Amino acid sequence: MRLQPGEAGSAAPACISHIAPFDSYLPTIPDIMNVLNIAAYKFVALTQLPQLQAGILEALQTRALKGTVLLAEEGINLFLAGPAAELHDFLAWLRLDARLADLEVKESFSSAQPFRKLLVKIKPEIIRMNHPAIQPAAGRAPAVDAATFRRWLDAGHDDKGQPLVTLDTRNDFEVDVGTFKNAIDWRISKFTEFPQALLERRQDLVGKTVVSFCTGGIRCEKAAIFMREAGVQDVYQLDGGILKYFESNGHAHFEGECFVFDERRALDPTLKPRVNPQP
Protein backbone atom coordinates (compact mmCIF):
# COMPACT_ATOMS: atom_id res chain seq x y z
CA MET A 1 0.00 0.00 0.00
CA ARG A 2 1.37 3.42 -0.94
CA LEU A 3 1.14 6.15 1.65
CA GLN A 4 -0.23 9.51 0.67
CA PRO A 5 1.23 12.76 2.01
CA GLY A 6 -0.27 13.55 5.36
CA GLU A 7 -0.86 9.92 6.38
CA ALA A 8 1.04 8.33 9.24
CA GLY A 9 4.58 7.43 8.33
CA SER A 10 4.51 9.71 5.30
CA ALA A 11 5.92 13.12 4.53
CA ALA A 12 5.15 15.14 1.43
CA PRO A 13 8.41 16.38 0.19
CA ALA A 14 11.30 19.34 -1.42
CA CYS A 15 38.88 25.95 -22.16
CA ILE A 16 39.31 22.58 -22.56
CA SER A 17 42.31 21.50 -24.60
CA HIS A 18 42.03 17.78 -24.18
CA ILE A 19 39.10 15.38 -24.43
CA ALA A 20 39.75 11.90 -23.04
CA PRO A 21 37.61 9.31 -24.88
CA PHE A 22 36.56 6.14 -23.09
CA ASP A 23 38.36 2.92 -23.90
CA SER A 24 37.12 1.24 -27.05
CA TYR A 25 36.57 -2.10 -25.34
CA LEU A 26 33.68 -0.88 -23.20
CA PRO A 27 30.31 -2.57 -23.81
CA THR A 28 28.12 -1.23 -26.57
CA ILE A 29 24.63 0.10 -25.91
CA PRO A 30 21.65 -2.03 -26.87
CA ASP A 31 18.90 -0.45 -28.97
CA ILE A 32 16.28 -0.97 -26.23
CA MET A 33 16.63 1.46 -23.36
CA ASN A 34 13.64 1.21 -21.08
CA VAL A 35 15.02 2.40 -17.73
CA LEU A 36 14.14 6.03 -17.07
CA ASN A 37 16.81 8.18 -15.40
CA ILE A 38 15.85 11.50 -13.86
CA ALA A 39 17.80 14.37 -12.35
CA ALA A 40 16.18 17.25 -10.52
CA TYR A 41 16.88 19.85 -7.89
CA LYS A 42 15.22 22.83 -6.32
CA PHE A 43 16.49 25.44 -3.91
CA VAL A 44 13.63 25.98 -1.50
CA ALA A 45 13.38 26.30 2.28
CA LEU A 46 12.66 22.88 3.78
CA THR A 47 11.86 22.03 7.39
CA GLN A 48 11.33 18.83 9.41
CA LEU A 49 13.98 17.06 7.38
CA PRO A 50 13.92 13.72 9.27
CA GLN A 51 10.20 13.31 8.59
CA LEU A 52 10.69 14.34 4.98
CA GLN A 53 13.55 11.85 4.65
CA ALA A 54 11.43 9.01 6.03
CA GLY A 55 8.49 9.79 3.77
CA ILE A 56 10.58 9.97 0.61
CA LEU A 57 12.47 6.80 1.48
CA GLU A 58 9.25 4.85 1.96
CA ALA A 59 7.73 6.23 -1.24
CA LEU A 60 10.83 5.20 -3.23
CA GLN A 61 11.12 1.77 -1.63
CA THR A 62 7.46 1.04 -2.35
CA ARG A 63 8.11 1.74 -6.02
CA ALA A 64 11.43 -0.20 -6.12
CA LEU A 65 13.38 2.84 -7.35
CA LYS A 66 17.13 3.38 -6.87
CA GLY A 67 19.43 6.37 -6.75
CA THR A 68 20.20 9.22 -4.37
CA VAL A 69 18.13 11.99 -2.83
CA LEU A 70 19.88 14.76 -0.89
CA LEU A 71 17.89 16.94 1.49
CA ALA A 72 19.01 20.12 3.24
CA GLU A 73 17.38 23.19 4.66
CA GLU A 74 18.25 24.88 1.35
CA GLY A 75 16.41 22.36 -0.85
CA ILE A 76 16.39 18.98 -2.59
CA ASN A 77 18.69 17.31 -5.13
CA LEU A 78 17.89 13.91 -6.62
CA PHE A 79 19.13 11.34 -9.13
CA LEU A 80 16.86 8.32 -9.58
CA ALA A 81 16.22 5.51 -12.04
CA GLY A 82 13.63 2.79 -12.61
CA PRO A 83 10.52 2.00 -14.64
CA ALA A 84 9.04 5.15 -16.17
CA ALA A 85 5.57 4.57 -14.72
CA GLU A 86 6.92 4.17 -11.18
CA LEU A 87 9.15 7.25 -11.46
CA HIS A 88 6.36 9.41 -12.81
CA ASP A 89 4.08 8.15 -10.04
CA PHE A 90 6.69 9.08 -7.45
CA LEU A 91 7.11 12.54 -8.96
CA ALA A 92 3.37 13.08 -8.88
CA TRP A 93 3.40 12.17 -5.16
CA LEU A 94 6.41 14.40 -4.48
CA ARG A 95 4.80 17.38 -6.21
CA LEU A 96 1.82 17.19 -3.87
CA ASP A 97 4.05 19.14 -1.53
CA ALA A 98 3.43 22.77 -2.52
CA ARG A 99 7.12 23.59 -2.07
CA LEU A 100 7.99 21.06 -4.78
CA ALA A 101 4.99 21.46 -7.06
CA ASP A 102 7.09 23.07 -9.79
CA LEU A 103 10.05 20.70 -9.54
CA GLU A 104 11.61 20.46 -13.01
CA VAL A 105 13.09 17.14 -14.14
CA LYS A 106 15.60 16.17 -16.82
CA GLU A 107 15.09 12.72 -18.31
CA SER A 108 17.25 10.20 -20.17
CA PHE A 109 17.10 6.44 -20.69
CA SER A 110 19.41 3.47 -20.20
CA SER A 111 19.09 -0.25 -20.87
CA ALA A 112 19.70 -1.22 -17.23
CA GLN A 113 19.56 0.29 -13.74
CA PRO A 114 22.65 2.55 -13.31
CA PHE A 115 22.37 2.75 -9.51
CA ARG A 116 23.21 -0.10 -7.15
CA LYS A 117 21.24 1.13 -4.15
CA LEU A 118 18.85 3.72 -2.78
CA LEU A 119 20.04 6.51 -0.49
CA VAL A 120 18.07 9.38 1.03
CA LYS A 121 20.44 11.62 2.98
CA ILE A 122 20.23 14.80 5.03
CA LYS A 123 23.14 17.15 4.30
CA PRO A 124 24.19 20.70 5.29
CA GLU A 125 23.97 21.66 1.59
CA ILE A 126 22.47 19.92 -1.46
CA ILE A 127 25.60 21.01 -3.34
CA ARG A 128 28.54 21.80 -1.11
CA MET A 129 30.22 25.18 -1.54
CA ASN A 130 31.01 26.10 2.08
CA HIS A 131 29.58 29.60 1.63
CA PRO A 132 26.33 29.59 3.62
CA ALA A 133 25.53 33.19 2.65
CA ILE A 134 24.92 32.02 -0.93
CA GLN A 135 21.20 31.21 -0.89
CA PRO A 136 19.65 30.61 -4.33
CA ALA A 137 16.22 30.18 -2.73
CA ALA A 138 16.37 33.86 -1.75
CA GLY A 139 16.97 34.96 -5.34
CA ARG A 140 18.64 33.44 -8.39
CA ALA A 141 21.25 35.01 -10.61
CA PRO A 142 19.93 35.74 -14.13
CA ALA A 143 19.59 32.62 -16.27
CA VAL A 144 19.90 32.13 -20.02
CA ASP A 145 17.91 29.41 -21.74
CA ALA A 146 19.45 26.88 -24.11
CA ALA A 147 18.12 28.51 -27.30
CA THR A 148 19.49 31.94 -26.40
CA PHE A 149 22.81 30.44 -25.30
CA ARG A 150 23.12 28.60 -28.63
CA ARG A 151 22.46 31.86 -30.47
CA TRP A 152 25.11 33.67 -28.43
CA LEU A 153 27.60 30.89 -29.09
CA ASP A 154 26.88 31.10 -32.83
CA ALA A 155 27.53 34.85 -32.77
CA GLY A 156 30.38 34.88 -30.25
CA HIS A 157 28.70 37.64 -28.28
CA ASP A 158 25.50 38.42 -26.39
CA ASP A 159 22.60 40.50 -27.67
CA LYS A 160 24.38 43.73 -26.65
CA GLY A 161 27.44 42.79 -28.69
CA GLN A 162 29.60 42.09 -25.64
CA PRO A 163 32.13 39.24 -26.00
CA LEU A 164 30.87 35.92 -24.63
CA VAL A 165 32.85 33.51 -22.48
CA THR A 166 31.66 30.22 -21.03
CA LEU A 167 32.81 29.06 -17.62
CA ASP A 168 32.74 25.39 -16.64
CA THR A 169 32.06 25.10 -12.91
CA ARG A 170 32.55 21.32 -12.79
CA ASN A 171 35.47 19.25 -11.53
CA ASP A 172 38.52 18.75 -13.74
CA PHE A 173 37.84 15.04 -14.36
CA GLU A 174 34.33 15.90 -15.58
CA VAL A 175 35.63 18.58 -17.94
CA ASP A 176 38.11 16.07 -19.41
CA VAL A 177 35.20 13.96 -20.69
CA GLY A 178 33.60 16.87 -22.52
CA THR A 179 32.72 20.55 -22.39
CA PHE A 180 31.75 23.49 -24.59
CA LYS A 181 34.38 24.52 -27.14
CA ASN A 182 36.81 27.09 -25.70
CA ALA A 183 35.16 26.99 -22.27
CA ILE A 184 37.19 28.34 -19.36
CA ASP A 185 38.39 25.47 -17.19
CA TRP A 186 40.07 26.37 -13.90
CA ARG A 187 40.99 22.72 -13.16
CA ILE A 188 39.26 22.59 -9.80
CA SER A 189 39.08 19.15 -8.19
CA LYS A 190 35.92 19.91 -6.17
CA PHE A 191 33.29 22.61 -6.16
CA THR A 192 34.44 24.06 -2.85
CA GLU A 193 37.54 25.29 -4.71
CA PHE A 194 35.48 27.42 -7.09
CA PRO A 195 35.19 30.56 -4.92
CA GLN A 196 38.96 30.93 -4.49
CA ALA A 197 39.57 30.18 -8.18
CA LEU A 198 37.13 32.96 -9.08
CA LEU A 199 38.69 35.48 -6.70
CA GLU A 200 42.11 34.83 -8.21
CA ARG A 201 40.91 35.24 -11.81
CA ARG A 202 37.92 37.58 -11.80
CA GLN A 203 39.85 40.35 -13.58
CA ASP A 204 40.03 38.05 -16.61
CA LEU A 205 36.23 38.31 -16.89
CA VAL A 206 35.94 42.12 -16.91
CA GLY A 207 34.14 43.44 -19.99
CA LYS A 208 32.78 40.03 -20.94
CA THR A 209 29.43 38.30 -20.64
CA VAL A 210 29.99 35.15 -18.60
CA VAL A 211 27.71 32.12 -18.84
CA SER A 212 28.47 29.58 -16.12
CA PHE A 213 27.37 25.99 -16.66
CA CYS A 214 27.46 22.53 -15.10
CA THR A 215 25.78 19.17 -15.63
CA GLY A 216 22.21 19.97 -14.64
CA GLY A 217 22.34 23.52 -13.34
CA ILE A 218 22.74 23.15 -9.58
CA ARG A 219 26.40 24.20 -9.29
CA CYS A 220 26.09 27.21 -11.57
CA GLU A 221 23.12 28.38 -9.47
CA LYS A 222 25.54 29.04 -6.61
CA ALA A 223 28.52 29.93 -8.82
CA ALA A 224 26.64 32.70 -10.64
CA ILE A 225 25.46 34.27 -7.38
CA PHE A 226 28.99 34.14 -5.93
CA MET A 227 30.44 35.76 -9.06
CA ARG A 228 27.95 38.61 -8.94
CA GLU A 229 28.64 39.22 -5.27
CA ALA A 230 32.39 39.19 -6.07
CA GLY A 231 31.92 42.02 -8.55
CA VAL A 232 31.62 40.18 -11.87
CA GLN A 233 28.77 42.15 -13.39
CA ASP A 234 27.54 40.37 -16.52
CA VAL A 235 26.98 36.83 -15.28
CA TYR A 236 24.37 34.28 -16.30
CA GLN A 237 23.75 30.66 -15.47
CA LEU A 238 22.82 28.16 -18.17
CA ASP A 239 19.31 27.15 -17.22
CA GLY A 240 19.11 23.35 -16.86
CA GLY A 241 22.83 22.89 -17.52
CA ILE A 242 24.44 20.76 -20.20
CA LEU A 243 21.72 18.11 -20.13
CA LYS A 244 18.96 20.60 -20.87
CA TYR A 245 21.08 22.10 -23.66
CA PHE A 246 21.53 18.65 -25.21
CA GLU A 247 17.74 18.18 -25.39
CA SER A 248 17.30 20.91 -27.99
CA ASN A 249 20.77 21.59 -29.39
CA GLY A 250 22.61 18.27 -29.46
CA HIS A 251 26.35 18.51 -30.04
CA ALA A 252 26.38 22.13 -31.30
CA HIS A 253 29.46 23.86 -29.82
CA PHE A 254 30.00 20.91 -27.44
CA GLU A 255 33.04 18.63 -27.62
CA GLY A 256 32.90 15.14 -26.14
CA GLU A 257 30.29 13.85 -23.72
CA CYS A 258 28.79 14.90 -20.41
CA PHE A 259 30.13 13.06 -17.37
CA VAL A 260 27.51 11.69 -14.96
CA PHE A 261 28.00 10.25 -11.48
CA ASP A 262 26.60 6.77 -12.04
CA GLU A 263 27.40 3.58 -13.93
CA ARG A 264 26.54 5.14 -17.31
CA ARG A 265 29.74 7.20 -16.91
CA ALA A 266 28.70 9.81 -19.51
CA LEU A 267 25.89 10.86 -21.85
CA ASP A 268 26.47 11.86 -25.45
CA PRO A 269 24.67 14.90 -26.96
CA THR A 270 21.72 12.66 -27.89
CA LEU A 271 21.47 11.70 -24.18
CA LYS A 272 22.51 8.12 -24.86
CA PRO A 273 24.80 6.52 -22.23
CA ARG A 274 28.39 5.79 -23.17
CA VAL A 275 28.54 2.68 -20.99
CA ASN A 276 25.80 0.12 -20.63
CA PRO A 277 25.07 -0.46 -16.92
CA GLN A 278 25.26 -4.14 -16.08
CA PRO A 279 22.02 -5.66 -14.71
Whether 239 and 211 have beta carbons less than 8 Å apart is answered as: no
Active-site option among 15, 214, 220, 258 = 214
Whether 274 and 266 have beta carbons less than 8 Å apart is answered as: yes
- Beta-strand relationship, 235-238 and 209-213: parallel
3-state helix, strand, coil in the chain (%, to 5): 30, 25, 45
Residue 214 dihedral angles phi and psi, to the nearest 5°: -155, -165
Q: What whole-number distance in Å separates Cα of residue 259 and Cα of residue 145?
A: 21
- Beta-strand relationship, 118-122 and 184-185: unpaired
Q: Verify whether residue 214 is a known catalytic residue.
A: yes
Catalytic residues: 214
